[in-house]
Structure 1
Amino acid sequence: MSILESFDDWKHFLASRVTQAASSGMNRDTMENAAYQIGSYLSNQVDPKNDEERLLKELWDAGNDEERRAMASVMINYVQNKKQ
């Protein structure tokens, strides 16, 4: 099963990658830029596998560049602060 099949699996995967990036010394701006690029890729290339992913894609597609960057930043905050 792909990590994109389950939104919980996706959140855990993203959280572990954010933790790994931070512990490797990656700064917040670099993490946000990577999250933005991943969000763009997913929106353009991957069909949402569940309702949560579909909502994120629709929000992403509705936003402008600044709003998409804000969403990427919020996703980082979400997985860093979420009790998993």
Structure 2
Amino acid sequence: MSVLDNFDRWKEFLGDRVQQAQEAGMSNQQIEEVAVRLGEYLSNKVDPENPQERLLKQMWESSPSPDDKHAMARIMMNLVTKH
């Protein structure tokens, strides 16, 4: 079972990666840039495995501006780090 099969596992995985990046000294802006690139990759290359991922993909694809995608990346960071 991959982390993409279950949305809670996916959030936990992302939260762990964000925490590791912060502990390695990356700024939130740098982590956000990585999150945007990851969002682009997932949207273009990975089929959604569950309803939550389908919704995220639809939201990503309906957000043509870089500002919208950065906002989504920040929201996902907040979601997985439980701020």
Q: TM-score, normalised by structure 1?
A: 0.94
Whether 2:13 is the aligned partner of 1:13: answer yes
Q: CA separation in 2, counterparts of 1:23 and 1:78? A: 18
1:39-81 Cα deviation digits (max 9, x unpaired): 0000000000000000000000000221011101110011111
Equivalenced residues, count: 82
Aligned to 2:53: 53
In structure 1, runs of 5+ residues without a counterpart are none
Q: Which structure 1 residue ranges, 4+ long, deviate > 4 Å from structure 2?
A: none
In structure 2, runs of 5+ residues without a counterpart are none
Q: CA separation in 1, counterparts of 2:82 and 2:2? A: 24
Q: TM-score, normalised by structure 2?
A: 0.95
Whether 2:35 is the aligned partner of 1:35: answer yes
Aligned to 2:72: 71
Aligned Cα root-mean-square deviation (Å): 0.9
How far off is 1:36 after superposition? 0.3
Aligned to 1:23: 23
